[in-house]
Amino acid sequence: MDERIKEFDTKMQKTIDHLASDYASIRAGRANPHVLDKIKVDYYGTPTPVQQVGNIAIPEARIIQIQPWEKSLLKEIEKAIQTSDLGINPTNDGNVIRLVFPELTEERRKELVKEVKKKGEADKVAIRNIRRDGNDAFKKMAKSEDISEDKIKQLEDELQKLTDKYIKEVDKMIDEKSKEILTV
């Protein structure tokens, strides 16, 4: 693969990775520890991810249990979860915090599928923008450097194939996440 193409391949891969992490934080009726990824706890004045201040376990399919390494953090973790956009009220028994995920309603599942599709479409646009940037760079290269039109055409074709590959991957991710959400 041409060095000039590799740069755009890396950017497109980062877009896919971003989408994967976004999808991991969308709950699909089952307890998934990744829903806590964006929640930060005030740990001695420093915003710290929940995963770094306690042990996270999934004792049952729809329950996440957080056991902080320091009991003094129970209130902080509880507060962080309540102020987040998770939409779940934590229960604190003095030792651990439990998050019980309610069964998703049909309506909520459809909303989540719409959200999944919207995020996927946004990432497809990002991939196409990377392709546009690449094509612009190749056109500038044609004017400033001594490169044949055939070589520029070849680079543009390679970039298009790369774009198609990543768009297909996004479509596949959208389908998989939608199926996961709609599966009761």
**What contacts 24+ positions apart, CB below 8 Å, involve 135-141?**
135/159, 137/4, 138/4, 141/4
- 3-24+105-182 placed in CATH 1.10.132.20: yes
Letter for the amino acid at 120? Answer: G
Domain ranges of the chain: 3-24+105-182, 33-100
Instruction: For 121-135, write each residue's pLDDT tens digit.
Output: 999 999 999 999 999
Could you please state the CATH topology (level 3) that the domain comprising 33-100 is classified under.
Gyrase A; domain 2 (3.30.1360)
What's the pLDDT tens digit per position in 83-116? 887 778 888 888 888 988 878 788 888 888 999 9
User: pTM of the predicted model, to two decimals?
Assistant: 0.71
